[in-house]
Amino acid sequence: MAGECAVVWGLFLRKKYMSDIILVRGNIETIPFSQLIEFLDPKHKVISIELRNQILEARYKNSLISDGLETGILTLFPNGSCYVKSKQSLPSIKGLIFESYLTNLFNENSQIRKNAFDWCTNRKRKSNLDYFEQYKAIGTGFISTKNIYSRFYEPQSNADIKFIRKNDNNEWEPATELETTNSAGIQIKAITGNERLEIIEPLLSGKYTHVLTCLKHLSQIHSYDICMDIIRDMHINNEISIDNRNYLEKRIYAPEHLGIYQYDIDNYSEYIDYWYKGQASGDINTTSAVNKEIVGYKYNDAGLLIPV
């Protein structure tokens, strides 16, 4: 029992004091700390800032590299190294990274993908499983989309993520909003302010049809809740009708509406902040190689990023 308690407390020690963790479960085992660090809770009250950054890096570094290359934020050299080439602001970069992260998550988790599909196609009743399984999510501005599904490559599209399937003619076609020919899609927002201009007004004008807003403000109030407050006030002040209010409330979601843990979104967002400040400060366009661990990645003939 004493050994097990030592393990629990050991998980929260600073890394420099731990090279291994001893587990007592009938037999004694030694597990390298590096294999366990990503499973620690970075928000635990006894975790230091230094260790929290190490935990986030262990958990999200590979995802950030993949997402950065997919969205064009990072450029890959023939030797496997890469550099940051985007001159965009941190919120814009974070939005692009979350587009890739969420597209991958939709395709990896069928229930989350189904929730997103039903929402953006305006299905009041859940879609038939056999029908839904025909679709996959793609990012409209991704390098892989340009290389594989060039017809759907639209970097300036008003929908960051769309769903496509092969029809009876063996041709790729997009999912449409129910009982229309309008292509269904989701706009991703990683903002912590200016929700009326960035989300609400584009929905009212028809520029966007569905917006997934991902982040919390520094106050810890979610951007989604800010949107709901703005919409309520607009209705009270007779700026919008009740129909418009109902429309807006159905067309704006937070990650948890789709079954995505906000905890994971918050942690990835924090890691992007940490990475950006440490690796991409100054002139982003000329920043030197980012993360030597990128060596060993390349694009295959289909344009997909793979390890070698």
The pLDDT score that the predictor gives to residue 16 is 35
Instruction: Quick: pLDDT tens for 62-95.
Output: 666 666 676 667 766 666 555 565 667 788 888 8
Residues 24-46 pLDDT 10s? 444 444 444 445 544 555 555 55
pLDDT band at 278 (very low <50, low <70, confident <90, very high): low
Between 10 and 284, residue with greater pLDDT: 10
Q: In angstroms, rounded to a whole number, what is the distance separating the alpha carbons of residues 116 and 181?
A: 18
What integer is the mean pLDDT of 115-134?
87
Helix (H) or strand (E) holding 204: helix 201-205
DSSP state of 194: -
Q: Which residues make beta-bridge pairs with 173?
A: 165
Nearest to 63 by CA among 34, 25, 106, 102: 102
Residue 302: pLDDT band (50, 70, 90) is: very low
Question: Please, what is the average pLDDT of the chain?
Answer: 76
| Amino acid code (one letter) for 113 | R
Specify the DSSP element, H or E, that contains 57: helix 49-71
Tokens of 123: 């299905």
Question: Number of helices and strands (H, E) in the chain?
Answer: 12, 12
Q: Is the pLDDT of residue 155 over 60?
A: yes
Distance CA 13, CA 115 (A): 40
Radius of gyration of the chain (CA): 22
Q: How many CB atoms lie within 10 A of CB 236?
A: 10
Amino acid, single-letter form, for residue 163: F
Give the pLDDT of residue 56.
Answer: 58
The model's pTM is 0.71
Which pLDDT tens digit goes with each residue over 201-236? 999 999 999 999 999 999 999 999 999 999 999 999
Please return the burial class of 180, using the count of CB atoms within 10 Å of its CB with bins 0-12, 13-18 and 19+. Answer: exposed
Listed in order, strand segments (DSSP E) in 74-191 are 74-76, 82-84, 136-139, 161-166, 172-174, 185-189
Separation CA 236–CA 29 (nearest Å):
63
Q: Under a CB-based contact definition with an 8 Å cutoff, are residues 138 and 152 in contact?
A: yes
* Greater pLDDT, 252 or 300: 252
Instruction: Quote the CA–CA distance of 30 and 9 in Å, as a whole number.
Output: 16
What's the N-to-C CA distance of the chain in angstroms? 44
- The model's confidence at residue 142, banded by pLDDT at 50, 70 and 90, is confident
